[in-house]
């Protein structure tokens, strides 16, 4: 049986991020594309940043799900254009918030490979616990490198903020 692109999406739709198990790779935009080529089906994944330690696990999970479904495909890691938090679905952002992680602001970023200047975002970060925007940055690095640590000054709870890229 020849697998269709829809078959491949169906086989991979359940895969979640190893570091944030409430959101799928597709919702995050890491599972970027599935395409048919003359060499067969390619599954394209893009890391949230070039040093993401979860990419090995993500690739293994993709391969295992494809194998379990009896689908032959090549897994391609594509770095350009660079992943951006704008690729996250609204459903992913809602799931992050419910999980206790403040979702990123929209960046309206371009998709260039190298960004030399990053504007400082002065928009307040809403606490995922109580919704207050009376929050403060505690550290640029949270539980993972793609998140920053914030504290809500109203409910006093610390929380991660998924940094916009």
At 67-85, the pLDDT tens digits run 999 999 999 999 999 999 9
Rounded Cα–Cα distance for residues 81 and 110 (Å): 9
Q: Are strands 101-102 and 158-162 parallel, antiparallel or unpaired?
A: parallel
What does the CA dihedral 162, 79, 87, 73 come to, rounded to 10 degrees? -120
Output 52 or 108, whichever has higher pLDDT: 52
Give the pLDDT score at 1: 54
Asked, for residue 87, whether it belongs to a domain, the answer is no
Give the pLDDT score at 111: 46
68 and 109 together in one domain: no
CATH of the domain at 52: 3.30.300.130
For the beta carbon of residue 18, count every other beta carbon within 10 angstroms: 15
Q: Would you say the pTM of this structure is higher than 0.85?
A: no
Asked, for residue 125, whether it belongs to a domain, the answer is yes
The domain of 19 spans 5-77
Sequence-separated (6 or more) residues with CB below 8 Å from residue 109: 84, 86, 115, 164, 165
107 and 71 together in one domain: no
For the beta carbon of residue 28, count every other beta carbon within 10 angstroms: 25
Asked whether residue 52 carries a pLDDT value surpassing 90, the answer given is no
At 95-153, the pLDDT tens digits run 999 999 999 987 655 544 444 444 456 789 999 999 999 999 999 988 888 899 999 99
At 4-46, the pLDDT tens digits run 999 999 999 999 999 999 999 999 999 999 999 999 999 999 9
| Total number of domains constituting the chain | 2
Contacts 24+ apart (CB under 8 A), 19-23: 19/54, 19/143, 19/144, 20/96, 20/99, 20/101, 22/95, 22/96, 22/98, 22/99, 23/92, 23/95, 23/96, 23/99
């Amino acid at each position: 049986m020849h697998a269709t692109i829809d078959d491949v999406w169906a086989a991979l739709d359940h895969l979640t991020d190893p570091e944030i198990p409430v959101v799928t790779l597709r919702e995050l935009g890491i599972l970027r594309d599935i395409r048919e080529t003359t060499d067969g089906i390619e599954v394209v994944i893009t890391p949230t940043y070039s040093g993401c330690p979860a990419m090995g696990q993500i690739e293994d999970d993709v391969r295992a799900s494809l194998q379990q479904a009896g689908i032959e495909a090549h897994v391609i890691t594509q770095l350009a254009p660079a992943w951006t938090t704008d690729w996250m679905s609204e459903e992913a952002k809602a799931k992050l918030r419910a999980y206790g992680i403040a979702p990123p602001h929209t960046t309206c970023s371009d998709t260039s490979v190298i960004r030399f200047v990053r504007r400082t975002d002065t928009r307040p970060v809403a606490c995922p616990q109580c919704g207050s925007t009376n929050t403060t940055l505690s550290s640029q690095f949270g539980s993972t490198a793609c998140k920053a640590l914030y504290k809500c000054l109203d409910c006093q709870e610390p929380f991660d903020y998924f940094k916009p890229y």
